[in-house]
Amino acid sequence: MKRLAAGTELDGFRIGACLHAGGMAHIYEVSYADARPSPFEMVMKVPRMTVGDGAENIVGFEVEHQILQVLHGTHVPRFVAAGDMVSMPYLVMEHVPGQTLQQVLDTHTQQHTRAQVADIAHMGAAIARAAHSLHQQNTCHLDIKPANVLLHPDGHAVLLDFGLSCHAHYPDLLAEELRKAVGSPAWIAPEQVVGVRGDPRSDIFAIGVMLYELATSELPFGNPQTKGGMRQRLWMDPTPPRRLREDLPEWLQEVVLRCLEPEAAKRYPSAAHLAFDLEHPEQVKVTKRGQQLQGTPFFTHFKRWLKAAGMHYQPSPLPSQQIDEVPILMVAVPHHEASDATLYSLRQAVARSLGIRPGARLAVVTVISPHLSSTSESDKSETTLHRQYRTLLQQWAQPLDLGQHQTSFHVLESSDVANAIVRYAEGNNVSMIVMGAATHGLQLQRLVATVPIKVAMEAPCTVILVKQALPFERLMD
């Protein structure tokens, strides 16, 4: 198909400049032909369908046409219109401002620099949030790579190009028609290589590849062009990032290598968990994975190779169902005038919630007044107060069985307690909040009962309000 000329009119749209001419499609600026205003800038994507182009170009267009219409939110371009395959296939969508992650990497390459750790964590968390939003809509991107990640000026990430994606409620055209592994060689996950599509942890693997490249300026598995070369990631580990860059902290290597685990079950259970660690590095539990400087022993790779030789396709559950099974739980623990019965009841409710959700993450949070700290008294400094209250939270959590659960402790400062709790839940993709129903130990509120009510009304997730109950020991007296 020839490139469209600027000024051409097509189905009520006027074609502008060609912004990108790739191997899969051409991207054009576009506006309404009748000059009516649009609420946002638009682009038209036209798939390449010349002699010699692979069938995946056409199938990918059908997939993106099918999926883009049902996605919503700030992490995807808004869909406008589409042309059919008979006359002229195209997709018109929002033109999102910003630069791609590939442009960021190219800039570092040209300047012979590497991204700062804080920037790596910020960009990684933004991409993980975008992937989590997609997974909540039962869609796996399956082609997350630097060219398909747009970093918006306000800090959030937008995912592009859904031609290789999979939606749990629609036929998987790529799997049905092509019958082969589909994906970009440098970023494709091990399970995709053997035909497994629809697992959200495949996108987590791809994010790990990008984090590795941001940190080291190298790709963890190179850029293989054969199926045999891609299969090596089923049993091989990359060189530890800290061996390539000495100033990388152990916590970041821990995060990156966990994303790149050959077995999906050993990666982060959801992109929300990954974003949480990237935004709270002080809470990351560093294991041997984060400390190692030498590569994985040959015998370990050999055992993985034997296991991979017999690997077969295993259908994945719905992405939204899969991530719901390993949520991030938040418990709001009162810090002032809280009775033993209240603290006991909260702990029991958390224990029950964690007991039926193996692998769930627990965030233990308290909110203190910003007026409690003092710049003149050392024992009331902000650092000292946070350390004291965090210790109290850890003591509260000690009786809980947290062996299977990552746990972190957070002290927030705000004069509006309910708002602080809601904002924390929104910012960390919390799936469930557990808090007291009657009182919350928050003397800053005249009507204390309004705090849990406000949280229950405004929270973006499930809220469990726990009534005060007497501890078992007191009930037996």
- Residue ranges of domains in the chain: 9-94, 99-319, 327-475
In sign, the C-alpha dihedral spanning 275, 278, 284, 290 is positive
**Partners of 229 in beta bridges:** none
From residue 181, give the alpha-carbon distance in Å to each of 56, 184, 464: 11, 10, 43
CATH code for the structural domain at 9-94: 3.30.200.20
SS3 assignment, position 91: strand
112 DSSP assignment: T
pLDDT of residue 226: 85
Instruction: Provide CB contacts within 8 A for 375, sequence distance 6+.
Output: 381
pLDDT of residue 447: 47
Q: What is the full per-residue pLDDT of the chain (477 aa) written as tens digits? A: 568 899 999 999 999 999 988 777 899 999 999 989 999 999 999 988 765 555 667 788 889 999 999 999 999 999 999 998 777 899 999 999 999 999 999 999 999 999 999 999 999 999 999 999 999 999 999 999 999 999 999 999 999 999 999 998 888 877 765 555 677 899 999 988 888 888 999 999 999 999 999 999 999 999 998 888 888 888 888 999 999 999 999 999 999 999 999 989 999 999 999 999 999 999 999 999 999 988 777 777 777 777 766 655 455 566 777 777 889 999 999 877 678 888 899 999 999 999 888 889 999 999 998 877 665 565 666 678 888 899 999 999 999 988 889 999 999 999 899 999 999 999 999 999 999 876 444 444 444 457 888 999 999 999 999 986 544 333 333
Angle subtended at Cα 285 by Cα 284 and Cα 290, rounded to the nearest 5 degrees: 95
pLDDT of residue 257: 97
pLDDT of residue 446: 47
pLDDT of residue 472: 36
**Where do the DSSP E strands lie in 13-89?**
13-21, 25-32, 42-47, 79-83
Contact indicator for 460, 425 with CB cutoff of 8 Å? yes
Contact indicator for 144, 133 with CB cutoff of 8 Å? no
Does the domain at 327-475 match CATH 3.40.50.1000? Answer given as: no
List the alpha helices (DSSP H) in 356-416.
382-397
316 DSSP assignment: P
CATH class of 99-319: mainly alpha
pTM, 2 dp: 0.86
pLDDT of residue 371: 77
Contact indicator for 81, 93 with CB cutoff of 8 Å? no
In the structure encoding, which two tokens stand for residue 259, read together? 């994303």
**Where do the DSSP E strands lie in 318-369?**
328-332, 361-368
pLDDT of residue 471: 40
